[in-house]
Amino acid sequence: MANLRKKVLGTVSGAVGDILFRAKNGKNYVGTRPLSFIPGKDEKSIVRRQRFALVTRLAKPINSIYKLKSLWKSVTPDGLSPYNQIVKVNYNNVQSDSIGDQVKLVPDIGFAVHINAFNVDQNRLRVTLNGITSSSGINPAIELHFQLAGVMHLSNPSDAENESHVFLRLLSDEITLVLNTEIDVTVNFFDQTSQLISQYQDRKAFLTLLTLDADKNVVNYSNTFFNS
C-alpha cells in the first residue's frame, strides 16, 4: 500500500470503487482492495460513498470546459490533475444527496458581479448583469471579450425513475466586452437538453464571467454566482 505524500481530501479512509484509502498516524495510504473485500454497509460508509460520487459528478462538467480547466491547472499541485483539485475544493460543499451554494467554478475569489436578472427555464438561460467598471481591474486594451461558463444542477425529478441528480455544462458565446455597459447574455438549449431539463423541478445554474484576450485566453474571472 502506497503512502500519499500530498493529501487530496484531508484525512480520508474507506473505499471508492476498487481503491482503498486508509489513514494512519496522520498519513493517508492508498491501495487496491482485496477481491474478497465487501464495501461497508453501515450508514456512514454509504453516505461517504454517495457524497464522493456526487462531488465527482459535479467536477466532471467543470473540468470539461477547457477555459475553466486551464484556471485550475495553474493552481494544481504537482502529481494531481485539475479534476482532482476541483473535487478537493468542492468536497465540503457536497452532502450525500445535495449541493450547497458554495460551488467553486474558479480557484480563487474573482471580481464581483451584480445580478439584475437571472432566469432559467427548459429552453434557455438568460442573465443580466450590471456593466463591468474599471474598478474591477479590467484592462479593456487586453481583455476584449467575455464569456459565461458554468454548470447547471438538475434535481427533484418529476419521475422517480429518473436520476436524482444531473449536471450540465453551460457555455455562452464569446461577446465583445464594453466597460460600463449592461451585460445581457442568453444561452439557448438544444431540443434534447430542453427535454431533459423539463423532467426536473429544481434547476440551479452556477456561473462565472470570464474575460478573454485577443487569442481567447482567460485573463480575469468573476466570483461564482447562481440563481436563487
Give the mean model confidence (pLDDT) for residues 189-218.
97
CB of 99 within 8 A of CB of 156?
no
Give the mean model confidence (pLDDT) for residues 88-97.
94
What length is written for the chain?
Answer: 228
Cell numbers at 185, concatenated: 447574455
pLDDT bracket for residue 70 (50, 70, 90): very high
CA distance 123 to 188: 6
Q: Is residue 194 in some structural domain?
A: yes
Q: Is residue 49 in some structural domain?
A: no
Give the mean model confidence (pLDDT) for residues 179-192.
97
- Helical H runs in the chain? 43-64, 66-73, 82-90, 191-197
E-strand spans in 101-188? 115-120, 124-129, 145-157, 165-171, 175-176, 183-188
Give the mean model confidence (pLDDT) for residues 168-191.
97
Q: Is residue 223 in some structural domain?
A: yes
CA distance 53 to 47: 10
Considering only residues 228 and 209, tell me which one the structure prediction assigns the higher pLDDT. Answer: 209
Q: Is residue 178 in some structural domain?
A: yes
**DSSP designation for 174:** -
Identify which of 42, 46, 40, 7 has the alpha carbon closest to the alpha carbon of residue 23: 7
pLDDT bracket for residue 170 (50, 70, 90): very high
Considering only residues 43 and 98, tell me which one the structure prediction assigns the higher pLDDT. Answer: 98
Give the mean model confidence (pLDDT) for residues 94-114.
95
pLDDT bracket for residue 51 (50, 70, 90): very high
Domain hosting residue 120, numbered range: 58-228
Q: Structurally, how many domains does the chain consist of?
A: 1
Give the mean model confidence (pLDDT) for residues 178-184.
96
Measured in degrees and rounded to the nearest 5, phi and psi for residue 146 equal -135, 165
Q: Is residue 109 in some structural domain?
A: yes
Give the mean model confidence (pLDDT) for residues 178-185.
96
Q: Is residue 182 in some structural domain?
A: yes
Cα dist from 72 to 4, 25, 89, 101, 168, whole Å: 21, 30, 10, 20, 19
Crossing angle, helix 82-90 and helix 66-73, to 10 degrees? Answer: 80
Q: Is residue 211 in some structural domain?
A: yes
Q: Is residue 100 in some structural domain?
A: yes
Identify which of 146, 55, 144 has the alpha carbon closest to the alpha carbon of residue 98: 55
Give the mean model confidence (pLDDT) for residues 59-72.
98
First and final CA of the chain: distance in angstroms?
A: 45
pLDDT of residue 2 exceeding 60, the answer is: no
Identify which of 4, 96, 114, 7 has the alpha carbon closest to the alpha carbon of residue 48: 96
Q: Specify the pLDDT at position 42.
A: 77
pLDDT of residue 4 exceeding 60, the answer is: no
Q: Specify the pLDDT at position 45.
A: 85
How confident is the prediction for the chain on average, in pLDDT? Answer: 89
Give the gyration radius of the chain's Cα atoms: 20
pLDDT bracket for residue 194 (50, 70, 90): very high
Give the mean model confidence (pLDDT) for residues 80-86.
96
